[in-house]
Chains A and B, each alone.
Chain A
Amino acid sequence: MSTLSLRGIVRQFGPLRVIHGIDLDIAQGEFVVFVGPSGCGKSTLLRIIAGLDQPNGGQITIDGRDVTGTRAAERGLAMVFQSYALYPHMTVRQNLAFGLENQRMAKEEVARRVAEAARMLQIEHLLARKPGQLSGGQRQRVAIGRTVTREPGIFLFDEPLSNLDAELRVQMRVELTALHKRLQATMIYVTHDQTEAMTMADRIVVLRAGRIEQQGSPLELYNRPANKFVAGFIGSPRMNFLDGQAVGGRSVAFEGLPNLDIPAARETTEGEAVTLGVRPEHLAFTDGAGLPGTVDIVEQMGGESYIYVTLANEARLTVRRPGQTQLHAGEPVRVAIDGAAHLFGRGDDEHAITPRRLP
């Protein structure tokens, strides 16, 4: 178990800067997930922490020790690669033992750790096989087992579940969370999948274009996104956005639609361009005042329903309702806010304008 601290980490490839001075502290035993779209720098940042890539500027400390510029092996970390990176010509047992043999560890200790990891990950029956004879999920376990045997200060995961099918992904997610609880280890996990981030993280770090957009617990990010990007990235289906203008410090006007009263509009100036953000589960259908539109498509999930609505001004909304809806495509509806509404500025940063819950 280790702590990690990044100070002003910068990475550039030629003239292209991909990491712009990142500061981050990770506490002992914390499960931190780096999430962001492709090219946001999350994998690069992980590789810099691992020591597989060197930053052009900044400082990395592990347990208070400056490790910037030291070799990967000297940092006491272990990594699960997206491709698993198992040695194809070695058996599972040899794969698990390889890193330990490098350290000239006593044979009995190597055997003990391999057996322990195999038992923990339920791969004891696979020890004599080679990676080519394993399924994707089994390979994934071996890759995790290889890091477990090392007993590292920090576990690093680089999109480890992206090559698995949906069902296995859910299962491995649960197992990884259980592994974290059991080992009480510091873990850093990179993914582009916000569901993985929401379900596994103690803390999510949302990255975009080499900068941290926001960090916090999954529900903090979900309930109080700092800007439109985070609001749109966290949550599935995605948050709905409607562009409008603040009116009278009380409501927001939309082209071709009735005005909506939004408490956060108190923080706006008259006529300010704003974006209203409402999560699909915070919208409902009403007989009274609401935004008029027509149902486009209905997706029945069984336990809940997704209703895609085109509003009178051609804007589109996704509404998520519990249970099974009776609505049909083509039906006229009125949509009202039934929960939290967020207002975002329309400047460069599209920052949140003090989001408040509606009464």
Chain B
Amino acid sequence: MSTLGRLIDAPFEALQRRLGAARMPYVFVAPNLLVFGIFVAAPMILNVWYAVTGGTQLMPAERPFVGASNFGELLDCDQFGVIASCRQDRFWRAVANTAWFVPFQVIGLVAVSLVTALILNRRMAWRGFFRAVFFYPVLLSPVVVALIWKWVLQPDGVLNALIVAGGGARVPFLLDPSWAFSWTVVISIWAHMGFYTLILLAGLQAIPADLYEAAEMDGTPHARVFWRITLPLLMPNMVVVLVLGLIRAVQSFDEIFVLTGGGPGTATQYIVQYIYETAFANQTHILGLAAAASILVGGVLMVLTMLQLAATAWSKR
């Protein structure tokens, strides 16, 4: 054994003599557990405390207990379905925007990732290069993604320059609510699809080649091979993509915040931006409301995820 090996082993051997072999696994998970505790578990517990306390104090001990009144304020609307009648209309505006954004983004993401994975799974020249190209945006910082696209989309940006050069009129991509919304969907898909493509590609490669050969011997048309063999066998990966994509879509914030700042108006303000601004960016930091909103979002995500997993389990029967 090397000197380094002996050096590392010695303290662990001493520890094992003291604790016994059965307790050693806890020693190895302890560092990760500590990090998880400080950065995940403790904030979650704190968040619950903030949600049931009021005022603008940051220190938990100084905050007065208010029970469910933060949740009450968020859910308080005079008229059902009318955002303007709600006490926290900005919350409901963000919820509505997110409710529009998520299905477009997730369906688009899954479709684009699937098509890309299917293409990249074929035998083709430069396959490794193209796989890298599609994964590349995932490596970019969200801020960089936003700045690249801002440079493309702004009134005197690259895209408008091309349109003008082609004889067209400038399009206010980031200033028109519909355009801005559409671009947040597109950019969000572009920035994240590489990761999901990779998951689907792994799933495609795990399907044994002889199943396709058997299908070929059977004279199965291409479309039927896709619907009856590829897709069912890719389902486990599709569920992973769907669940992760859905959670990520609801959490969308950074690149969109840098690109549009939630605008024009509140057209691209999604729920996480509302939570961020309520807690940290507005003049008064209403931590209780923000904490309550994040618990509501977490609850909705959990329900959606469980529904998806249940649907998958059911379809497998």
Contact = CB atoms under 8 A, between A and B. Distances in A.
Given A85-B208, A102-B224, A73 B218 contact: yes
Contacts of B220: 73, 98-99, 102
A52 B209 CA distance: 11
Contacts of A79: 213-214, 217
Contact of A102 (B208, B210, B213, B219): B219
A72 interface: yes
A6 B220 CA distance: 26
B216 A73 contact: yes
A88 B210 CA distance: 12
Contact of B217 (A52, A88, A89): A52
A52 B216 contact: yes
Contacts of A71: 216, 219
A77 B219 CA distance: 10
Interface string B199-215: 00000000010110111
A81 B211 CA distance: 9
Task: Bin chain A's interface residue count.
Answer: 20 to 34
A325 interface: no
B218 A102 contact: yes
B221 A81 contact: no
Contacts of A78: 217
A253 to B, nearest CB: 53
A158 to B, nearest CB: 9
A99 B219 CA distance: 7
A82 B209 CA distance: 12
A117 interface: no
A81 B210 contact: yes
A329 B278 CA distance: 91
A50 interface: yes
Contacts of B221: 102
Interface string A62-97: 000000000111100111011101011100000000
A82 B215 CA distance: 15
A103 interface: yes
A81 B216 contact: no
B232 interface: yes
B217 A72 contact: yes
20 contacts: A50-B217, A51-B217, A52-B213, A52-B216, A71-B219, A72-B213, A72-B217, A72-B219, A73-B217, A73-B218, A73-B219, A77-B217, A78-B217, A87-B214, A88-B233, A89-B232, A98-B218, A102-B219, A146-B214, A150-B218
